[in-house]
Structures are given as C-alpha cells and as structure tokens.
Amino acid sequence: MIKGNRKLLLGFFFLATSTALAVLLTLKNPAPDFLALGSFVLAQASGILAIVWGNIKEHQANGKAQG
C-alpha cells in the first residue's frame, strides 16, 4: 500500500507543477506556445496516469491483504 501512496503523491505533484508552470508561462506570454501546451498536456497525462496506477496498486494490495 505504501508504493501506491507514493505514486498518488507523485501524480499529484505532476499535476500541481504542470498547472503552475502553465499559469506562469501564460502570464509571461499570452500568445499560445505549442511547446508549452504540449509539455503541459504531457505532464497532466503522466500525473493522471500515476494517480490511476497508484489506485490500482492500492486496491490490489488491499485485496491481497484481505484474501
């Protein structure tokens, strides 16, 4: 269960940092920058994937502990 929690924290870290980076880049340059947008989407996707993967691992660990 500890590994799942670490992946959840890592996922939330990716989501928070990518959102903050996108806000800072938007404030600095309001014109759309495809490199910044692409990196933002990639960081958001990796954060969501880490959260989902952490939830799956946590549920698997809980199932093994019960059964």
- Residue ranges covered by each domain of the chain: 2-66
Whole-structure pTM over 0.75, yes or no? Answer: no
DSSP letters, the chain, are -HHHHHHHHHHHHHHHHHHHHHHHHHHH--S--HHHHHHHHHHHHHHHHHHHHHHHHHHHHHHHHH-
* % of the chain beyond a pLDDT of 70: 87
Question: What pLDDT sits at residue 1?
Answer: 47
Neighbours of 43 (CB within 10 A): 19
16 falls in which pLDDT band (50, 70, 90)? confident
Question: What pLDDT sits at residue 42?
Answer: 80
d(CA 22, CA 35): 11
Query: Pick the residue with more confidence: 4 or 36?
Result: 36
